[in-house]
Every structure is written in structure tokens, then in C-alpha cells.
């Protein structure tokens, strides 16, 4: 009787063995990002490298890039030049190890009629003509605006997302509980949720990873554009800037008066999306006049 009971319990618990996605004890006991000492961080990064190698078969180099002193990132986008080719979207996917299937993309390019109305209800993101740009339309790529007053950070119940000193709002994928409040709070549709374990072909993994940036995400966590922390905090341009064939996209340090973004903010008539919400984006659009 007792042995039959034990066997039944064992059979009942058998499906638990298939729950391979449940993390390790170390992962479960990991401390909050801001409380980690450098030694603990080193162990965490090594553990994540092991995890990625086990899952994807590629040994990555995961680092924890910190913000630089005297740097505040600003992004500008020239809507006169943007042709809507979506190269930025795919450069971003490749750089940031986003799930290919189901598809997760940080940048959404909107096609808007050039009729002076600027009516978002007329926007179309499924356009697929033979050739872009199409006459009578302009294209507006939208991604995370890295707001100075971010509504997504305010609503996070566990402080898994916060704004760093260089203006980048980041997510700790190990701390996120996947409640998706931030997704609802964001007025720009900048945040994406991993409904399932991301799938990335092994040969397309970008092994240059950062803890708060492009390391592979877990099932059930939020992710978002982080201005390519693994690139920009090393002094490089983000992948979307590099990919833009028309030079519509510009990026730089607004605290440097000689930077291109300082020039654009001084000389162009820039505007922000949904300024009335008071989110104070660091992402500026403008038209060449």
C-alpha cells in the first residue's frame, strides 16, 4: 500500500523533470542588481555565460557595462531622410539577440500620410510595397524613447527596471517578474514580453553581451531597447545608427556641446512624440526645412 502510494507520488511528480526552464538555485538566490558586489557580479556573469552556452551552444562574453561619467545619451531622427527600409529593425534584432521566433522587434516603423495631419490613426506598420519611399508618405520609426520621466519605471512593483545615469532605462531580466505593468504604462509601445523562451539560431547569436542589455532573455520577462548598452557604453554607435543607409539616425552625448546631437537640438526644429504626456523623451524627431 505504502509503496503504491510512493509510486503514485513519483508518477505525479514526473512532469516536473521536464521543467528544464526553471533556473538554478544560484539564479533563484541572486541578489538585486544594485546590491551585488563586484565579486558577486563576476560569479553571476560566469553563471550566465554557462547558461547561454548550455542553451545555445555558444560561449558568450557577458560583461556588466556601467554608465560613463558626464554622458547623457540623446537620439535624433530626421524624418525627411528616413525612407522606411526597416534595415534598423533587423540590425537591432541581430545585435540584441532578440527572439526570431516568435518575433520580437524593438523598432516599429510607421508609415504616415504626408498630408500635414500627423494623425496616428492613419499610421500603418505593415506596409510592404515593392520599393520605398512611397510618394505622399513619410516614415517614423518608433522605439524606446529613454524618457527622463519614465512611466514604465514608476509602475514596476519590484524595481526590476530603472533609469541609469546616462539616461538609459534598463531591465534586470533576473529580477523581472513578468507582470507587464510597464508594457501597459509605456505610451510608445516600446516594451516587449517574452511569452515563451526566445529562439535564436546558434549561428546568429551575438556573443558580445551585456548584463543589462542583449544577453538572451528568459521566458516571462520584459525587454526593451537599451540603446545597445554593450556598444554605446564602449564608445560605439548603436546598431540602428550603423545600419541606417540614409543617415537619418544620429546618436551622441548631449552633454558634449560639440556632438552632432547638440548641433541638431540647437539648429533643427525638433519635437518629441506625445509631448503632452510629460514623459520628457530623449528621442527627438525633426524635419529638414
Q: What is the DSSP string of 193-223?
A: E-SS-----GGG---EEETTTTSPPPTT-EE
- Residue 191 in contact with residue 223, Cβ under 8 Å? yes
**SS3 call for 131:** coil
Mask 13-42, x = binds another protein (CB under 8 A)? x-xx-x------------------------
User: Which grid cell sits at 282?
Assistant: 530623449
How many Å apart are CA 153 and CA 165, to the nearest integer? 14
Residues in the chain: 289
- Count of residues that interact with another protein, criterion CB under 8 A: 62
Residue 232 found at the interface with another protein (CB under 8 A): yes
CB-based contacts of 148: which residues, under 8 Å, 6+ apart? 163, 167, 279, 280, 281, 282
**SS3 call for 169:** strand
Question: Which range of residues in 40-48, 122-130, 140-148, 273-281 is near another protein by CB under 8 A?
Answer: 122-130
Sole binder of another protein in the list 230, 252, 270, 282 (CB under 8 A): 252
Nearer to another protein, 41 or 94 (CB): 94
Residue 165 found at the interface with another protein (CB under 8 A): no
Residue 100 found at the interface with another protein (CB under 8 A): yes
How many Å apart are CA 133 and CA 151, to the nearest integer? 34
Residue 98 found at the interface with another protein (CB under 8 A): no
CA terminus-to-terminus distance, the chain: 86
Question: Which range of residues in 8-16, 112-120, 158-166, 276-284 is near another protein by CB under 8 A?
Answer: 8-16
* List of residues contacting another protein (CB under 8 A): 12-13, 15-16, 18, 76, 78, 83-87, 89-91, 93-94, 100-103, 105, 108, 125-133, 195-196, 199, 201, 204, 232, 234-237, 239, 241-247, 249-253, 259-260, 263-264, 267-268, 288
Amino acid at each position: 500500500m505504502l509503496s503504491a502510494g510512493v509510486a503514485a507520488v513519483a508518477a505525479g511528480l514526473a512532469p516536473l523533470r521536464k521543467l528544464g526552464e526553471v533556473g538554478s538555485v544560484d539564479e533563484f538566490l541572486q541578489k538585486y542588481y544594485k546590491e551585488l558586489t563586484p565579486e558577486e557580479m563576476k560569479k553571476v556573469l560566469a553563471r550566465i555565460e554557462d547558461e547561454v552556452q548550455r542553451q545555445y551552444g555558444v560561449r558568450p562574453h557577458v560583461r556588466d557595462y556601467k554608465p560613463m561619467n558626464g554622458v547623457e545619451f540623446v537620439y535624433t531622427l530626421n524624418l525627411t531622410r528616413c525612407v522606411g527600409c526597416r534595415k534598423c529593425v533587423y540590425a537591432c534584432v541581430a545585435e540584441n539577440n532578440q527572439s526570431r521566433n516568435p518575433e520580437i522587434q524593438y523598432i516599429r516603423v510607421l508609415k504616415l500620410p504626408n498630408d500635414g495631419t500627423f494623425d496616428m490613426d492613419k499610421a500603418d506598420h505593415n506596409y510592404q510595397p515593392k520599393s520605398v519611399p512611397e510618394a505622399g508618405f513619410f516614415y517614423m520609426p518608433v522605439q524606446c524613447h529613454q524618457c527622463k520621466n519614465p512611466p514604465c519605471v514608476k509602475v514596476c512593483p519590484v524595481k526590476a527596471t530603472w533609469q541609469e545615469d546616462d539616461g538609459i532605462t534598463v531591465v534586470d531580466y533576473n529580477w523581472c517578474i513578468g507582470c507587464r505593468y510597464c508594457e501597459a504604462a509605456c505610451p510608445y509601445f516600446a516594451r516587449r514580453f517574452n511569452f515563451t523562451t526566445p529562439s535564436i539560431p546558434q549561428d546568429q547569436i551575438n556573443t558580445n553581451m551585456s548584463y543589462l542589455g542583449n544577453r538572451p532573455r528568459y521566458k516571462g520577462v520584459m525587454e526593451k531597447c537599451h540603446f545597445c548598452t554593450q556598444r554605446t557604453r564602449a564608445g560605439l554607435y548603436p546598431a540602428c545608427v550603423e545600419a541606417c543607409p540614409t543617415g537619418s539616425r544620429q546618436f551622441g552625448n548631449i552633454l558634449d556641446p560639440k556632438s552632432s546631437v547638440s548641433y541638431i537640438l540647437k539648429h533643427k526644429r525638433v519635437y518629441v512624440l506625445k509631448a503632452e504626456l510629460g514623459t520628457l523623451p530623449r528621442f527627438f524627431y525633426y524635419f529638414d526645412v
